[in-house]
Amino acid sequence: MNRRYVTADVFTETQFHGNPLAVVLDAEGLSTSQMQAITAEFGYSETTFVLPPRDPANTAWVRIFTPSREIPFAGHPNIGTAFVLATRAAASGKPLPDRLVFEEAAGLVPVTQMKDGGRVVGAELTVPERLTRASALSAESVAACLSLDPGDIRTDAHPPQVASVGLPFVVAELASREALRRCVPSLVDYKKVLPVDGATSIYAYTRDVGDDTSSDIQARMFTPRMTEDPATGSATAAAVALVADVRGVSELLLRVGQGVDMGRPSILITTVDVHEGQSRVRIGGKCVNVMEGSFSLES
């Protein structure tokens, strides 16, 4: 059986920028081990597998894999999968509803199409969980993980801390854009510090954006594989929710630049609304299709 796939670049409108994603459209019948092997073969930070919804009221059941494991939720895979499904449906003359609902391990994930002149250009999702704050880490330990000096870590707003809105990350604020450029993950120190409270990756950001008028903060995210992710929706959503929480604000919108230092610039638009003590976090961005094809598996 041939199985179709599409790749898209997420959080950008320029091909070969943003975060690449592979979407396998005909995933029914694939085993978990096969999905894991296919993901490793694509080699992207994540690959999604689209299956029929278990509840027909929803759009699809979506499983998300990194090259090493299945994860319950992630930002750019949801944004990209919604964009791919919506653009293919529109091209076939059977457009999907503006609001899609994906069944995932973290729960139901609503995703809204972003349109420009009636054309699908991206998507915005509401994260499945409210902000949770777990362990705080020392500036010294996180600085070592990123090959920085402890003075490069800002702690006046919050210490480096595990934060999650569906997937946990260590979130650390850096003192300058220059420090963000100098980040190099250290395998030895990662193994000393991580995992902690389920977090295996470090998301570093800075409010120092220099002359970059396209973003409010700049960020980088490093995985335990010592790789850098060009645009991380779930980490960005957790970080902005954390910033809103420590500032004590009821509304916050931030344009987050990521991937610049690795040559894949991305822009993620994140909004936090707090009502009666409960935060709602939305994250969105533009997307562009890149490739499509099919593959078959040997029995």
Residues with catalytic function? 46
- Which amino acid type is present at position 160? P
Given CA atoms 83, 251, 179, 197 in this order, what sign does their dihedral have?
negative
Tokens 């099919």 -> residue: 294
Measure the CA–CA gap between 84 and 120, rounded to whole angstroms: 9
189 neighbors 150 (Cβ within 8 angstroms): no
Judged by DSSP in three states, 74 sits in coil
Tokens 């991206």 -> residue: 122
The structure tokens listed for 224 are: 């335990």
Measure the CA–CA gap between 26 and 22, rounded to whole angstroms: 12
